[in-house]
């Protein structure tokens, strides 16, 4: 008779449920936690290639029915190999975070080759640390040499023309009509047949938008440089601060530029490093995982429909 | 540390740094966009793929036609040509346009660009495999019967550059490549 037990579980207090959740996360090995979250990542943010998507879906079913299957190198080898094919097939248009996903899948292959938990942990930790530094410092190098980042040109033109930022700018009080105009000018300049004489257009960039572009430029640059350098340095206190900075980075950057698959991957890398050593920070990463999902809600659209944005302008 | 562990630890860094070095090289040698190619350059430069484009202009029987309705195979070549505008990529696109047989359609006048100056926009040509979703000017009555092959194709590559001081966005021609049909084609 299982009914009384089921009832008692349902009546369990939120505090006890939370404690059991923490216990569950803590009792799993670093590899198990990273593997489970990576399977979710390949399922929700896969490559466009049909062969990768189907394999990821089948392997997710295998994982649900038999979690120990993810301990096999073959499990990750299949995903890493097919992800590599997907990149080789279309290496130019593929986003950088898809390259990173493949690197991480190869990291899991390398870790799964070892049977001892300690060895797997070591490979995962080193791969995750390398990848965080690579992502952050690689971006800093590109931004430093690009010639159109540090003077805020990149953010200013992106804010003016990329509709993904429209909601954020509307919330921050930038005139939506100006944004609609700048996007229309951008589209006209790119038209298959020239429609703007001289091929030039003056964009409606007011001082507030220019100031925002400068602020985003330096916030993004400084936080990436800080996170990248902190993860290179030794010491537990520094590492704790590095993780804290990375959580802030995830929550801040992916709110502005919602590339959620990228955000999830960085959170997984953070968990792979923090698990077992910094329980609260591990929870912070898990929370950021969930918060990133909420970034998909079209907040500005909802606010516009409720009339809040009109009031703010 | 055993040799296996060293290999396991260095496996990902070696791949990632090789791809990164290749991206920097292609950026310098072939103008690959900083945003692409695994170089961690997303949001690092105003020279993003969204600010690069190509105009494909074809000629047949003395008439000039601007093409913008491509099936996925030509679209892939167009993407390659704009992400990394090497001579090879621009040439591949031009050759593929020449190799294609195109179908003629009437363009709905209401959908034509307002300041169109050429007669070419009174009609348009689409690839038979191009689905309506890829066409900005969907043909009104299905595929036409008239087919045509081009005598020559010009691919012009542009970048949109932004001047902060004057808030001016400009379409600047960076490169152009002509291909004329040969007897063998």
How far A179 CA lies from chain B's nearest CA (Å)? 13
Contact flag A111-B8 (C-beta cutoff 8 Å): yes
- Which residue in A97, A136, A149 sits closest to A259, CA to CA? A97
With a cut of 60, say whether residue A208 has pLDDT above it. yes
Structure tokens at A55: 């394999």
Alpha helices (H) along chain A = 3-10, 14-27, 30-44, 50-65, 73-89, 96-112, 117-145, 153-161, 166-171, 176-189, 207-230, 236-256, 260-274, 279-294, 299-305, 308-312
Nearest CA in chain B to A214: B164
Q: Are A105 and A79 contacting, i.e. CB atoms less than 8 angstroms apart?
A: yes
CA distance B152 to B148: 12
CA distance A258 to A163: 12
- Which residue in B126, B121, B150 sits closest to B60, CA to CA? B150
Instruction: Indicate the angle between helix axes A260-274 and A96-112, nearest 10 degrees.
Output: 30
Q: What is the pLDDT of residue A6?
A: 53
Least confident of A31-35, A94-98, A168-172, B68-72: B68-72
With a cut of 60, say whether residue B151 has pLDDT above it. yes
How far B103 CA lies from chain A's nearest CA (Å)? 18
pLDDT digits (tens, 9 = 90+) for A107-126: 999 999 998 989 999 999 99
**Residue B65, φ and ψ in degrees, nearest 5:** -135, 130
Alpha helices (H) along B31-140 = 72-83, 87-99
CA distance A92 to A76: 24
Annotate B131-163 with DSSP letters as a single string.
-GGG-SS--TTS--S-EE--SEEEEEEEEEEEE
pLDDT digits (tens, 9 = 90+) for A162-175: 988 887 787 778 88
Nearest CA in chain B to A210: B164
Q: What is the pLDDT of residue B179?
A: 83
B137 Cβ under 8 Å from any chain A Cβ: no
* Contact residues, chain A, for B118 at CB < 8 Å: 193
B34 Cβ under 8 Å from any chain A Cβ: yes
Q: Residue A206, Cβ neighbours under 10 Å: how many?
A: 12
Considering only residues A11 and A218, tell me which one the structure prediction assigns the higher pLDDT.
A218
Q: What is the pLDDT of residue B117?
A: 36
CA distance A184 to A172: 21
Structure tokens at B137: 């000017």
Contact flag B40-A135 (C-beta cutoff 8 Å): yes
Q: Is the ipTM of this complex over 0.90?
A: no
| Section B117-145 average pLDDT | 46
User: Which contiguous run of DSSP H or E holds residue B52?
Assistant: strand B52-60
Least confident of A88-102, A240-254, B77-91, B132-146: B132-146
pLDDT digits (tens, 9 = 90+) for B28-66: 999 999 999 999 999 999 999 999 999 888 887 777 777
Contact flag A92-B38 (C-beta cutoff 8 Å): no
pLDDT band of residue B141 (cuts 50, 70, 90) is very low
With a cut of 80, say whether residue A226 has pLDDT above it. yes
């Amino acid at each position: 008779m299982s009914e009384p037990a089921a009832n008692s579980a349902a009546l369990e207090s939120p505090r006890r449920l939370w404690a059991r959740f923490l216990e569950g996360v803590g009792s799993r090995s670093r590899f198990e936690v990273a593997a489970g979250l990576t399977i979710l990542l390949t399922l929700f943010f896969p490559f466009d290639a049909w062969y990768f998507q189907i394999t990821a879906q089948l392997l997710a079913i295998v994982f649900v029915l038999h979690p120990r299957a993810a301990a096999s190198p073959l499990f990750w080898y299949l995903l890493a190999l097919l992800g590599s094919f997907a990149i080789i097939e279309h290496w130019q248009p593929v986003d950088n975070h898809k390259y990173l996903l493949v690197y991480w899948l190869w990291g899991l292959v390398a870790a799964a080759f070892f049977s001892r938990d300690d060895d797997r942990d070591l490979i995962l930790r080193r791969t995750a640390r390398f990848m965080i530094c690579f992502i952050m410092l690689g971006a800093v190098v590109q931004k430093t040499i690009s010639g159109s980042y540090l003077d805020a040109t990149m953010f200013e033109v992106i804010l003016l023309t990329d509709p993904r930022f429209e909601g954020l700018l509307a919330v921050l009080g930038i005139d939506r009509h100006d944004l609609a105009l700048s996007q229309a000018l951008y589209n006209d300049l790119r038209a298959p047949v020239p429609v703007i004489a001289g091929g030039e257009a003056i964009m409606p960039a007011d001082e507030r938008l220019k100031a925002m572009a400068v602020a985003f430029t330096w916030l993004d640059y400084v936080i990436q440089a800080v996170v990248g350098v902190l993860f290179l340095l030794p010491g537990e206190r520094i590492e704790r601060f590095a993780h804290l900075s990375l959580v802030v980075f995830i929550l801040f950057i992916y709110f502005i530029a919602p590339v959620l698959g990228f955000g999830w991957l960085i959170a997984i890398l953070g968990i792979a490093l923090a698990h077992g050593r910094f329980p609260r920070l591990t929870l912070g990463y898990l929370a950021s995982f969930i918060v990133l999902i909420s970034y998909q809600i079209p907040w500005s659209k909802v606010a516009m429909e409720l009339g809040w944005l009109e009031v703010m302008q | 540390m055993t040799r296996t562990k060293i290999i396991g630890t260095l496996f990902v860094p070696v791949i990632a740094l090789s791809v990164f070095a290749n991206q920097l090289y292609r950026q310098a040698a072939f103008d690959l966009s900083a945003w692409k190619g695994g170089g961690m350059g997303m949001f690092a430069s105003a020279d993003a793929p969204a600010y690069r484009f190509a105009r494909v202009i074809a000629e047949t029987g003395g008439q000039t036609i601007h093409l913008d309705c491509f099936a996925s195979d030509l679209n892939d070549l167009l993407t390659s040509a704009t992400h990394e505008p090497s001579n090879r990529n621009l040439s591949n696109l031009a050759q593929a346009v020449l190799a294609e047989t195109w179908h003629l359609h009437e363009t709905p006048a209401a959908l034509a660009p307002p300041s169109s100056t050429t007669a070419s926009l009174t009609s348009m040509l689409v690839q038979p495999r191009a689905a309506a979703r890829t066409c900005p000017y969907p043909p009104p009555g299905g595929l036409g019967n008239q087919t045509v092959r081009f005598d020559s194709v010009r691919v012009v590559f542009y970048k949109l550059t932004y001047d902060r001081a004057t808030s001016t966005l400009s379409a600047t021609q960076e490169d152009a490549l002509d291909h004329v049909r040969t007897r063998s084609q």
